[in-house]
Amino acid sequence: MAASSTLVYHHLPFFFLVFLLHAQPCPAAGGSWSTLLPSIGISAMHMQLLPNDRVVMYDRTDFGISNISLPNGKCRPNTTDCSAHSVEYDVASNTVRPLMVLSNVWCSSGTLMPDGRLVQTGGFDDGYRVVRIYKSCDSCDWQEIRDGLNQQRWYATNHILPDGKQIIIGGRRAFSYEFFPKISTNENTPSFPFLAQTNDPNAENNLYPFVFLYPDGNLFIFANNRAILFDYSKNQVIKTYPTIPGGQPRNYPSTGSAVLLPLRMTQGTVAAVEVLVCGGAPKGAFVNANKGIFDGALDTCGRIKISDPNPQWAMETMPSARVMGDMLLLPNGHVLIINGVSAGVAGWELGRNPVLSPVVYHPDKQVGSRFEVQNPSTIPRVYHSTAVLLRDGRVLVGGSNAHDKYEFTNVLYPTELSLEAFSPSYLDSNSSEFRPTIILPVKNTRIGYGKQVVVVFTVSGIVDPSSVSVTMVAPSFNTHSFSMNQRLIVLDGSPASKIIGRSRYQVVVTTPPSGNVAPAGNYILYLVHKDIPSPGIWVQMQ
């Protein structure tokens, strides 16, 4: 084949050959990849960025011996496993420190609490009902609450609530929800029939439901192929949205992903609330994959304005099909779709054809020109891969293990212990003259609701005052291609103005009006100029 295609090229005029070599199926590739660490010792199945720029990661305790030892010759109690299954990655020093999880954290979920602790829930086997708390410091480790949950939670979704508690929704064969901390010691576990209704007996397909806090305090919950608006305090469905066109499943094991598109504040309100769901695997794909037939993944996204009185899905086609893709909100409000494969489903040995090129989705461009294919990685990130946004605007990518034990050789997709960073094109060196730096507020500033904040920044090149905005991003908990608590708010603000006599600029912005729009806790504040974000700074909403 190679010889005959070479022959064909030889018969073409030279300029046509050049054209062929440069022809791209999609416009303007961008972004760049770098390997941060070839091995962190574990496969990063779950990741959470913490407000001190460290990232907690963990895999499983029933997974064999990892490639990193517990410190000081420690072993997990009552086992012969002296290896770590959790690490803390420090972005600044690019190093990892091993941590000890006691019970099985496999396919669990979590939320960063308003005080900056990670509270993580459930898992498998001896971890089904465990709540684990991680407070970051140089020598901190996991604390476990044995019977912290009322129900077993394996593949559940968590979300932070306006009152500072977290809700834990669903999980395998758990058609209910509960809270942490508990509302009362004898709190019951409200049943949640929507999860029973969306549970496909052959494939489940409603695990790790997509959950977003709607700015009126209710929850938008998408499972399988449809969604509701839900009042968890009254256990009441407020609204039922139409089934996504085509009716194909989008949740684990037909793992697509979803984001709440940027919440743009205008005069103290959010003008439009929109959700974007992308990828997944068709009905029957899970049963087929278990028989060795790997169906092509879905190549569609559905976008719905859930704040419309009569919301309807609008469908769009991605440049390539994808299952197990992660969707991340970038600081400038664009959506990155990264990781995953184009055939099969989530689960051991069930995915095929890695998709190595991320895609950037521009929510504000015209339909038909919203997707932009990015430069590819060389490392397949299949089942159990992860991605989180870092404060500096890079995207941390880790994990991938297609097998039920660590498998490094003689397999189609070896277990990945490496960490990479994807740098979106806004970090290209030719953007540096437009890249802002925030001077004020200083890091860890506490900000209240509905307050005016002066953001002072510098830019080395010429500032275009009409293309300046201030965004706030909540750090999310990422696993199984979904980022829990992911949220980006575009603050209402004045146009940028030059501070007289200084090479500095300022914008005055109004902070979100309530915890329904921005639950209390840590956010990364960015100044965005011409779609190029500054390095972020941590602020605390309270």
Ligand X SMILES: *[C@@H]1O[C@H](CO)[C@@H](O)[C@H](O)[C@H]1NC(C)=O
Residue numbers of the site for ligand X (CB under 6 A)? 28, 39, 67, 77-78, 102, 408, 417, 428, 430-431, 434
H or E element in which residue 88 lies? strand 86-90
Report the candidate in 342, 128, 153 with the shortest Cα–Cα distance to residue 255: 342
Q: How far is the CB of 390 from ligand X (least distance, A)?
A: 21
Closer CB to ligand X, residue 90 or residue 299? 90
What would the two tokens of residue 241 be? 């949205």
Query: d(Cα 217, Cα 274) in Å, to the nearest integer?
Result: 15
Query: CA–CA separation, 303 vs 260, rounded Å?
Result: 10
User: What token pair was written down for 96?
Assistant: 């990892």
CA neighbours within 13 Å on the CB side: how many for 330?
27
Q: Measured from the CB atom, is 81 or 216 closer to ligand X? A: 81
CB of 362 to ligand X, least distance (A): 13
CB closer to ligand X out of 198 and 425: 425
CB 395 within 8 A of CB 389: yes
Smaller CB distance to ligand X: residue 308 or 464?
464
> Cα-flanking dihedrals φ and ψ of residue 170, to 5°?
75, -145
- When the beta carbons of 210 and 426 are compared against ligand X, the nearer one is 426
CB of 25 to ligand X, least distance (A): 17
Report in angstroms how near the CB of residue 431 gets to ligand X at its nearest. Answer: 4
* Between 374 and 476, CB nearer to ligand X: 374
Residue 286: enclosing H or E segment and its boundaries? helix 285-290
Considering the complex, state which of residue 142 and residue 252 has its C-beta at the smaller distance from ligand X. 142
CA distance 123 to 140: 21
Q: Indicate the length of the chain as a whole number.
A: 542
**Closer residue to ligand X in complex, CB, 66/199:** 66
Whole-angstrom CA distances from 448 to 50, 143, 161, 234, 528 are: 21, 31, 17, 28, 22
Evaluate whether 275 touches 220 at the Cβ level (below 8 Å).
yes
CB atoms within 10 A of CB 273: 20
